[in-house]
Amino acid sequence: MPSDPTSAHLPFGDQRSAPWYGKDIISVKQFHRGDLQYIFDVAHEMRGMVERVGTFDLLKGKILANLFYEPSTRTSSSFTAAMERLGGSVIPINEVQYSSVTKGETLTDTVRTLECYADVIVLRHPETGSAAKAAEAARKPVINAGDGTGEHPTQALLDIFTIREELGKLDNLTVTMLGDLKYGRTVHSLARLLLNFDDIRLNYVSPEILRMPGDVMEEVKARGVTQAEFTGLDEVLPETDVLYVTRVQKERFEDANAYETVKGAYVIDPVVMKAARHNMIVMHPLPRVGEISMELDSDPRAAYFRQMEYGLYVRMALLAIVLGKA
Ligand code: NCD
């Protein structure tokens, strides 16, 4: 290890010919196993660098436009922290009501505006397909930070990185997704991204009206991965390596009464967890609204707070990669 920690053996440098330089990140379908290995190796190095030096100048002079049309705490602030820890800066547009969006500006015009000032655009938007639309209009890289009920690729990348760091493997896993599998974009991306690994078994536990969408299940089936649906957790919890809990997405229901029938459908607490393995983990993209009790937070299997921190390293890696510095 060199004595100057900022010149450590990182795969960093100016690598504008690298495959991800200047690319958009719209869907997890863009990533194959080799890409994931590369991103996670860079993320792992980012973790080491943050622990050793905190902030360093890999992206000095680069600017990120953080454009959020939907609420966000973790995704928005972790992209900001990621850019600032790499020495870059951020144009935050978290409150689109104070921007020209309120005057009726289209998404594509807003994106074309921001790319005049920034090197990369992170976009969260309520419409499925909006990130692809923005990327089509933009010359600079667009990173999808959640497009309606579609995808949330950077969340899925950090979810898989969490599994790798916590369990030390990505093959031969039983992953149980629980909660709102219909509207939850994180599980749509995660199920697809897990198809890159071997011997994966997917369990979907949800109320009848919140089942995993057919298109995602078709893709899983086409890759020959075992999947099964349940309405209760009891049958599958004992064999689960990763329990991925999600919030019921109140804001996406067309019928408020339907939400009332399924809110609070599942609560994971220490009593429920007695049936789970000792060496499994519980994950959640957060925010939680009652589906994991606070009494579980001190259980070593509760990985959801650590998961947020892994998100910082993965987003640092992604920014460095699309800006040609990793
Ligand atoms: C998720 C999202 O926005 O899709 N949150 C996040 O990015 N960590 C999950 C959610 O809102 O329930």
pLDDT in tens, 146-155: 999 999 999 9
Helix (H) or strand (E) holding 232: none
State both tokens at 306.
Answer: 């650590």
Instruction: Please confirm, yes or no, whether 47 is among the known catalytic residues.
Output: no
Instruction: Please confirm, yes or no, whether 75 is among the known catalytic residues.
Output: yes
**Alpha-carbon distance values, 324 to 4, 5, 29, 134, 318 (Å):** 22, 21, 21, 21, 10
What's the confidence (pLDDT) of residue 315? 98
State both tokens at 208.
Answer: 């009848």
State both tokens at 255.
Answer: 């019928």
Spatial distance between the Cα atoms of 257 and 294, rounded to a whole number of angstroms: 27
Protein residue closest via CA to atom 6 of ligand 1? 285
Q: CB of 15 within 8 A of CB of 21?
A: yes
Ligand 1 nearest atom to the CA of residue 186, by list position: 4
Report whether residue 189 contacts ligand 1, using a CB cutoff of 6 Å.
no
Spatial distance between the Cα atoms of 115 and 150, rounded to a whole number of angstroms: 24
Ligand 1 nearest atom to the CA of residue 285, by list position: 8
* Opening angle at CA 80, ends 74 and 85, nearest 5: 115
What's the confidence (pLDDT) of residue 307? 98
Instruction: Please confirm, yes or no, whether 103 is among the known catalytic residues.
Output: yes
What's the confidence (pLDDT) of residue 6? 42
What's the confidence (pLDDT) of residue 211? 98
Report whether residue 284 contacts ligand 1, using a CB cutoff of 6 Å.
no
Of 62, 85, 124, 125, which is the active-site residue? 124
Residues of the chain with pLDDT under 70: 1-17
Q: What's the first-to-final CA gap in the chain, in angstroms?
A: 18
Instruction: Please confirm, yes or no, whether 223 is among the known catalytic residues.
Output: no
Spatial distance between the Cα atoms of 75 and 29, rounded to a whole number of angstroms: 20
State both tokens at 259.
Answer: 């939400």
Q: How far is the CA of 196 from the centre of ligand 1 (A)?
A: 23
